[in-house]
C-alpha cells in the first residue's frame, strides 16, 4: 500500500486502519471522502452486496478515519473494488 498523501495508521491504536467501505459519491475521482459519506463493513462480501453504483454507492478499500486540517473526519481511498 502506498501511503503517499495519507496520514499513516497508528500502530499502537486501532483508530485509523484499512477497512472495507461503501462510499456515497457522484464522482470517483477524489482521493479522500468525509466520514458522513462512508459506510464501513466487516467483510468484502458485505461491502460488495451493499454497493449500488447506479445510485452512487461505490465499494472501496479505505484508510481512516483521520482528522483533516479543517477538523473533519475523513477516509482516504486506497482502491475501488
- pTM for this predicted structure: 0.81
- Where do the domains of the chain lie? 17-80
Tell whether the model's pLDDT for residue 69 goes beyond 60. Answer: yes
Q: Is pLDDT above 90 for 4?
A: no
Instruction: State the pLDDT at residue 66.
Output: 87
* 42-48 mean pLDDT: 98
List b or e across 30-65, with b for residues whose CB sees 16 or more CB atoms inside 10 angstroms: eebbebebbeebeeeeebeeebeeeeeebbbbbbbb
Residue 16: DSSP 8-state? S
What is the mean predicted confidence (pLDDT) over 43-70? 94
Please measure the distance between the N-terminal and C-terminal CA atoms of the chain and give it in whole angstroms: 15
What's the grid cell of residue 19? 477497512
pLDDT at 1: 46
More confident residue, 19 or 71: 19
Amino acid at each position: 500500500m502506498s501511503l503517499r498523501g495519507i496520514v499513516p495508521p497508528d500502530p499502537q491504536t486501532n483508530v485509523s486502519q484499512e477497512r472495507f467501505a461503501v462510499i456515497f459519491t457522484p464522482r470517483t475521482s477524489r482521493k479522500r471522502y468525509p466520514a458522513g459519506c462512508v459506510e464501513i463493513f466487516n467483510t468484502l462480501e458485505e461491502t460488495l452486496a451493499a454497493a449500488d453504483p447506479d445510485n452512487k454507492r461505490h465499494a472501496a478499500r479505505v484508510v481512516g478515519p483521520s482528522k483533516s486540517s479543517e477538523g473533519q473526519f475523513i477516509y482516504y481511498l486506497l482502491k475501488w473494488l
